Amino acid sequence: MGIFRKMRAAFHDDWCNLCQSEMDVMHKQLYAMPDVTVDHYVSHESADYYRKHLVPVEKKAQIPAGMYACGFHIYRCPNCGHRRTKLTTFLPVRDQEKIEEILFFDHGELDDFIYQSQTGSPDLKGNTQKRRQDCGDYMYSGPYDYV
């Protein structure tokens, strides 16, 4: 039975590669890549590149035509606590996504970047500071959708 779980974890990005359990989506965020346009895409595997060149956006409609974007999905295993970040680089084309590359970061390389502006708690008196989005109510509904 263990070999089937390992095979499933290898082909599903939402399965833990340590204990082979289904992971929960804790946070989702969409970013524009202003430096990368059509016919100028270059693959980058360094987390430092993404820290320096990504601009957060709320929805895909805010990304100018011909500009690449990245979607982050942060997963957490409910059994062993392992965290994994999936970064999908794509070009929005006519309400579709032309995926260029999918990268996984399993060692927290982007945690400081993802959570830098999302600390604190919600302030109902008009403060615009966002709360951390790895709390339970964001588990099933993320702050963005790709539509």
**Does residue 41 form part of some domain?**
yes
Residuewise pLDDT in 10s, the chain (147 residues):
456 555 554 567 778 878 888 889 988 999 999 988 888 888 888 899 998 999 999 988 899 889 999 999 999 999 998 888 999 999 998 878 899 998 988 888 888 887 774 543 332 233 333 434 444 433 433 344 443
Residue range(s) defining the domain that contains residue 35: 2-116
- Measured CA to CA, the distance from residue 36 to residue 50 in angstroms comes to 12
- On whether residue 77 sits in a domain, the answer given is yes
Q: Is the residue at 92 inside a domain?
A: yes
Residue 43's pLDDT is 87
The answer to whether residue 25 sits within a structural domain is yes
The verdict on residue 108 lying in a domain is yes
- For residues 117, 122, 31 and 85, what is the CA-based torsion angle, rounded to 10 degrees? 80
Residue (of 21, 38, 146, 136) closest to 82 by Cα position: 21
What pLDDT, on a 0 to 100 scale, did the predictor assign at position 91? 92
132 part of a folded domain: no
Q: For position 42, what pLDDT does the model report?
A: 87
14 touches 23 (CB < 8 A) = yes
Residue 146 lies inside a defined structural domain of this protein: no
Number of domains comprising the chain: 1
Q: Which of 121, 59, 117, 115 is nearest to 85 (CA)?
A: 115
The answer, as to whether pTM is greater than 0.85, is no
Tokens of 93: 């084309």
110 occurs within a structural domain: yes
For 6-38, give one letter per residue: b (16+ CB within 10 A) or e: eeebeeeeebbbeebbebebbbbbbbbbeebee
The phi, psi pair for 5, rounded to 5°, reads -65, -40
